[in-house]
A and B are shown apart, each in its own frame.
Chain A
Amino acid sequence: MLAITLILVMFERLFNLGLFDPARGGDPLLYQHLFWIYSHPAVYIMILPVMGAVSEIIPTFARKKIFGYKAIPRREAGRPGERVPSGLRIPRPLTSPEMRAPHPPGRFPPRSPPKPISAGPRPPLQVRPLTPAPPSKTAEQGRSRSAVLAGPEGFDEARFPVSVLAEHFQHRGTIRAVVGEEDLRRSFPTEPISQRLCSRTASGSKLRRKASQYSRAIRAACDEIGADRLGAGSRAPRGGGRGFGGGEGGRCLRDDRLRDFALSPAKIAG
Chain B
Amino acid sequence: MIFLIVIPGAPAVLGNFMLRSTSALATSPSETHLLSWYCFVGGALLAVTSLFTGGGAPDTGWTFYVPYSVRTTTNVTLAVFAAFILGFSSILTGLNFVTTTHRLRAQGMSWFRMPLFVWGIYATAWIQILAPRCWRSP
Binding site for B on A (CB under 8 A): 1-4, 6-7, 9-10, 12-14, 20-21, 28, 31-32, 35, 37-39, 41-42, 44-46, 48-53, 55-56, 66, 69-70, 72-74, 76-77, 79, 91, 94-96, 98-99, 102-103, 105, 108-109
Contact = CB atoms under 8 A, between A and B. Distances in A.
Given A9-B69, A98-B111, A109-B108, A2 B124 contact: no
Interface of B: 2, 6-7, 10-11, 14-15, 18, 63-67, 69-70, 76-77, 80-81, 83-84, 87, 90, 102-103, 105, 107-108, 110-112, 114-124, 127-128, 130-134, 138
B117 A55 contact: yes
Nearest to B3: A2
Contacts of B117: 49, 52-53, 55-56
Given A76-B119, A102-B111, A109-B110, 16 more contacts: A2-B83, A2-B87, A4-B133, A9-B69, A12-B70, A46-B7, A48-B120, A49-B117, A50-B10, A55-B117, A56-B115, A73-B112, A73-B119, A96-B102, A96-B111, A103-B110
Contacts, number: 153
Given A2-B131, A41-B127, A42-B7, A98 B110 contact: yes
Contact of A39 (B63, B81, B124): B63
Nearest to B94: A45
A66 B124 CA distance: 21
Contact of B102 (A49, A94, A102): A94
Chain B contact surface mostly? helix
Contacts of B6: 46
Contact of A72 (B67, B119, B124): B119
B134 A91 contact: no
Given A44-B124, A44-B127, A49 B103 contact: no
6 contacts: A2-B131, A2-B132, A31-B64, A45-B128, A76-B123, A99-B111
Contacts of B87: 2-3, 6
A11 B61 CA distance: 19
Given A9-B64, A9-B70, A55-B116, A49 B10 contact: yes
Contacts of B103: 96
B134 A4 contact: yes
Contacts of A96: 102-103, 105, 111
B66 A9 contact: yes
B76 A56 contact: no
Given A9-B70, A13-B70, A102-B110, A45 B11 contact: yes
A73 B111 contact: yes
Contacts of A102: 110-112
Contacts of A6: 64, 80-81, 83-84, 87
Contacts of B102: 94-96
A68 B83 CA distance: 38
